[in-house]
Structure 1
């Protein structure tokens, strides 16, 4: 199944409030893919969750996926309570992205109403099977599906990772009547292996929960099973079966590379904490992205993180997936990890962005193109600019962002950090970080600035990080000096913490040297103030030399020219730059922030996010 839209539609009903558990980090459960999330598919999906499987529910109906993601089953036999429990436990993922089926153990094609579509559905998931996987096709009574024809379809579309010559089990299940309301099932298959695998799967789904009676006995004459109604209780998790060892086979097909999809997929993750004022603009900017034929945005996931305002309510007005985390102790990094675990693992690229950032219509395309054109890049960030507005604090930051952008251009678009305002990561790069750190998720929950920590991890694995020169975003800066102080204190403290934690390694040497140069500049400023104070105290006459004004003139010219390149500049911006002294005082304020951050870092005093 191929999902062509972005996520869930508007809904007026959210998940029941309560503790929102993140995905548990436990040994991998056997993965079941249920193709088709209609009346039949939802019921078998919830039964599979109850039986201890990790379930991926595939469907191309975006509105149906959105309804399921918000805890509304739409099926009387599949209660909303059971659906919500499966969603919160991370055991059920409704999606339109078939790449999430990668490495499945069992795929069930719920083609009860359209058996003629079974071959197409089998071909859609075959490329993502693991060796020894089972494919089950459910049809109404009668010979509606030719199993041998399906076997040919399966072998043709099968992924090389499943192993040439490995026959995946195919079985057809005949239901005496549509649906799953306690209907009996008969199994027919091509071979004993297929029959045994399918029968074992349905036995697991039919097994009662402890301390109920023993599982029902299958009638050997009819091989019929009766499956009970779904429950919020769970059986122990099912471990995936070991992959069969098959001797290598060679033939004419091995000489030809397997055709793989040419469309790159992107999942967008937006962590949001009390962003009711800006979340609408952020989502509208995402929904307005111009995606070319080679790029598909498969999901926009808004992770509402510990919010107490109307952020979730506003986000649900749009066709996006909204995940609400009410007790997330890891704040922003925990929100992004949760979004990645549930929706982003199988996408080619993952875009993370702040909820107060607005993308230009071609931003996603330009960032993805930068990664595709440069295979050594593990991540790129957009060129970010402060949103227009009034106030001295906002004006000063607009000028600061513009000068930082000039610096990135001088450095050949290399950056110290893939800024969290808008950063796109390559899937394999994130997986490398997971392997490097031995944790189940890429973002470090213990870091104050998770984007910088992830950047260092990527560099440690040999990936490069840069800025996408044609991708632009606008972000909302702090509007008060008190908020700006808190932000820069966290940035400075987080950066120093990461460097101290990692030590003198290739990925931190440049930043540690920059901190050293910054310390020298602060020392020189203090010495200058001290000398000026002594001259005033002892009435030392001051004389000016014309040559001493040359550095001041150069600095003035540099600031004016950089301010001239600011988008949407005003006469007030230019006047602010021309005065010089205001920006000098702003620089002194930022230096004080950095000094305070260094003091907190050395005293090991924790700072809240």
Structure 2
């Protein structure tokens, strides 16, 4: 366990429970700095083929996680990431996040379980890959400092994914590598989390530039921008139609709308029937989409103004 700048008895409690604890020393670089200090110690006694699991404290692994990760660690695979699902609770906000995570899991399955992000919830690295990342940073081939995780990124898990793939390795998230992680229970916490994710993703793309590795990520960000424009136009058109008086319902567009609702309901299936009912209302998820779009636009605006993003605990 890595204890970073703890002000309570976390480290002592962990030792009493039988855990080996690594306490960070004068770390000012948040999670990435603490992990780098711990990896410096752990990797000293490991062979290149040995595996290292990096896991968040708020995450629970399914029993088969490690076995499936080891099985998936082929010669051309540099790391195996988790497929994460939301923990119970959190009210309406928690339910919306669980639906979102469920759909993300479906996307991973459709991409033949390719990991576009080696999520910080849980990822297994080959020791040799971590050493190669550090050497690449030292040689100036990739930025982010002189250690394993980047000290220049708000989203160290997204950045290290690009580092692993830049070195020529595949990154995967097998179906058996499932984890359950916490959900944000308030809108301010969710805002800070998503701003960190979105801003970090954009800055990582800026720092890496246009490469074979980053091109799909850049396209995805572009599609996000198009969805923002499309939703805005839809809302403007709807308001305009309502302002004209009684709206007209064309059978064709009603059918299109029903297909859209059906897609929302089906893709939320893994999150439970209550989540499917929530998805079927459409209006609540529409508001959640608008929240996500606001995060995207604010991230672009802050980057354009070169406004420094502050790390906020969530």
Q: Same fold (TM over 0.5)?
A: yes
Equivalent residue number for residue 472 of structure 1: 178
Give 1:413 deviation, angstroms.
Answer: 0.6
What is the CA–CA distance in structure 2 between the aligned matches of 1:588 and 1:396, rounded to whole Å? 13
Equivalent residue number for residue 544 of structure 1: 249
- SS of residue matched to 1:497: helix
Change (3 A) 1:390 1:460: closer
| Aligned: 1:450 with 2:152 | no
After TM superposition, the structure 1 = structure 2 runs for residues 161-200 of structure 1, keeping only pairs within 5 Å, are none
What is the CA–CA distance in structure 1 between the aligned matches of 2:40 and 2:93, rounded to whole Å? 37
Q: Please, which of 41, 48, 71 is the counterpart of residue 342 of structure 1?
A: 41
Q: Please, which of 201, 217, 220 is the counterpart of residue 514 of structure 1?
A: 220
- TM-score, normalised to structure 1, is 0.48
Equivalent residue number for residue 61 of structure 2: 359
CA contact (8 A) 1:312 1:322 kept: yes
Per-residue CA deviations over 1:126-170 (Å, capped at 9, x if unaligned) read xxxxxxxxxxxxxxxxxxxxxxxxxxxxxxxxxxxxxxxxxxxxx
Give 1:518 deviation, angstroms.
Answer: 1.1
What is the CA–CA distance in structure 2 between the aligned matches of 1:492 and 1:469, rounded to whole Å? 25
Per-residue CA deviations over 1:514-563 (Å, capped at 9, x if unaligned) read 111111111122222233334444x2653111111223222222222222
Equivalent residue number for residue 23 of structure 2: 324
Equivalent residue number for residue 127 of structure 2: 427
What is the CA–CA distance in structure 1 between the aligned matches of 2:232 and 2:282, rounded to whole Å? 19
Equivalent residue number for residue 494 of structure 1: 200
Equivalent residue number for residue 603 of structure 1: 305
Give 1:450 deviation, angstroms.
Answer: 0.6
The structure whose residues are more often helix, as a share, is 2
| Aligned: 1:564 with 2:263 | no
Equivalent residue number for residue 168 of structure 1: none
What is the CA–CA distance in structure 2 between the aligned matches of 1:534 and 1:390, rounded to whole Å? 36
- Between 1 and 2, higher relative CO (CA 8 Å, sep ≥ 6) is seen in 2
Q: Please, which of 188, 201, 210 is the counterpart of residue 504 of structure 1?
A: 210
Greater CA radius of gyration, 1 or 2?
A: 1
Change (3 A) 1:532 1:573: closer
What is the CA–CA distance in structure 2 between the aligned matches of 1:328 and 1:503, rounded to whole Å? 29
Give 1:315 deviation, angstroms.
Answer: 1.4
- SS of residue matched to 1:321: coil
| Aligned: 1:396 with 2:96 | yes
- SS of residue matched to 2:148: coil
Equivalent residue number for residue 303 of structure 1: 2
CA contact (8 A) 1:305 1:324 kept: yes
Change (3 A) 1:310 1:576: farther
What is the CA–CA distance in structure 2 between the aligned matches of 1:493 and 1:330, rounded to whole Å? 17
Give 1:573 deviation, angstroms.
Answer: 2.3
Equivalent residue number for residue 333 of structure 1: 32
CA contact (8 A) 1:307 1:326 kept: no
Equivalent residue number for residue 314 of structure 1: 13
Give 1:440 deviation, angstroms.
Answer: 4.4
Q: Which runs of 4+ in 1 moved over 4 A?
A: none
Equivalent residue number for residue 407 of structure 1: 107
What is the CA–CA distance in structure 1 between the aligned matches of 2:310 and 2:20, rounded to whole Å? 28
The structure whose residues are more often strand, as a share, is 1
Change (3 A) 1:362 1:344: farther
CA contact (8 A) 1:328 1:334 kept: yes
What is the CA–CA distance in structure 1 between the aligned matches of 2:275 and 2:234, rounded to whole Å? 28
How well do the aligned residues superpose, as a CA RMSD in angstroms?
A: 1.7
Change (3 A) 1:561 1:532: closer
Give 1:383 deviation, angstroms.
Answer: 1.6
Per-residue CA deviations over 1:349-391 (Å, capped at 9, x if unaligned) read 11111110011222112112211xx211101112211111241
